[in-house]
Amino acid sequence: MTGVRPMLHGVPETLLWTLYNRAYEAGRRYPVLDDPMALRLLADLDYPFEERFGRPNAFLSQAQGLRSRCFDLAVQEYLAERPQATVVALGDGLETGFWRVDNGRLSWLSVELPVVAELRKALLPASDRLRTLSRSATDLSWLDEIEDPEGRGAVVTTQGLLMYLRPGEVRTILAGCAARLPGGILVMDTMARRPARGTVAGRSRVGAMTVPPMHWAMNPGERHKLRSAHPGITEVRALRPPRGRGAMGELIRIQSLLPGLRTLTPAMTLLRFGTATGTDRGRNRN
């Protein structure tokens, strides 16, 4: 192998697992996620994916593809109204959402830890509308980098990130966005409490990798509590993954609908920010 060798450990290494899943799904016939760049990234990396994470898992890969697609659809829905918005992808890893949703007018800001920011710059093509900030998402100075958030709009995505942060850090991010991005939205996936407990106990494995501790968890029924982070959160809405492929796609959909099963998988939620006195404060759908 002659590709780029990623030296990642702990939470940053998990980005290789999600990339592995997305790329496997993108390579299927009739993929739920059109992502040729994920396939190219996999080929460019000198990393023993199968040794580390096991053989590709068709169910997990499709579920991962549908989750990314769900993020894309929420971002695209917002961009349809505000095409010049800034999309801030916190903990963007080697995600390629910019190329999947680019409308030619948006700006994209990836916020990543330095080791991953370097990897993004080394592996992904440049664009004058794409910037990678090398800093922790918990350092809210990235909010200062959003150009005219009220005029142009802002979408914050947190795919696969918040569960690895401390509860106080998650609250600070949500409150910071609500205070600084009126008219904006934030899209998140959350891990339920039971599987998160397994990771804290060190019992959760993916192939040879021990899943790092997930310190922040939330059951889908607890969504309403997110509003308490800041009065500027005017809407909390559950997002359902789009329809998948074949019988496995149906299984993924059913899993996200049944109360007993949906606490085993990540749940998707959209937060909308308004002014604390706005007229849409009453909205809160689970």
Ligand X SMILES: C[S@@+](CC[C@H](N)C(=O)[O-])C[C@H]1O[C@@H](n2cnc3c(N)ncnc32)[C@H](O)[C@@H]1O
What is the binding site for ligand X (CB under 6 A)?
Answer: 11-12, 14-15, 18-19, 90-93, 95, 111-113, 116, 136-138, 159-161, 164
Residue 96 or 107: the one with the smaller Cβ distance to ligand X is 96
Residue 113: CB minimum distance to ligand X, A: 5
Q: How far apart are CA 200 and CA 214, in angstroms?
A: 6
SS3 280: coil
Residue 46: CB minimum distance to ligand X, A: 18
Phi-psi region of 133 (alpha: psi -120 to 50; beta: other; left: phi over 0): beta
Residue 235 or 271: the one with the smaller Cβ distance to ligand X is 271
The CA dihedral of 257, 16, 117, 186, to the nearest 10 degrees, is 0
Shortest CA distance to 242 belongs to which of 253, 231, 251? 253
Residue 166 or 243: the one with the smaller Cβ distance to ligand X is 166
Residue 86: CB minimum distance to ligand X, A: 17
Residue 214: CB minimum distance to ligand X, A: 10
Residue 160 or 274: the one with the smaller Cβ distance to ligand X is 160
SS3 154: strand
- Structural tokens at position 8: 């990642």
Separation of first and last alpha carbons in the chain:
48
- Beta strand 209-210 with 107-112 is unpaired
Residue 71: CB minimum distance to ligand X, A: 8
Residue 53: CB minimum distance to ligand X, A: 12
Residue nearest to ligand X as judged by C-beta position? 93
Residue 144: CB minimum distance to ligand X, A: 16
Q: How far apart are CA 159 and CA 139, in angstroms?
A: 17
- Beta carbons within 10 angstroms of residue 194's beta carbon: 11
Shortest CA distance to 94 belongs to which of 20, 180, 166? 20
- Structural tokens at position 188: 């998140």
Residue 15 or 106: the one with the smaller Cβ distance to ligand X is 15
Residue 9 or 285: the one with the smaller Cβ distance to ligand X is 9
Residue 84 or 204: the one with the smaller Cβ distance to ligand X is 204
Q: How far apart are CA 187 and CA 198, in angstroms?
A: 25
Contact, 163 vs 265, CB < 8 A? no
Residue 15: CB minimum distance to ligand X, A: 4
Residue 14 or 234: the one with the smaller Cβ distance to ligand X is 14
Shortest CA distance to 94 belongs to which of 108, 76, 112? 112
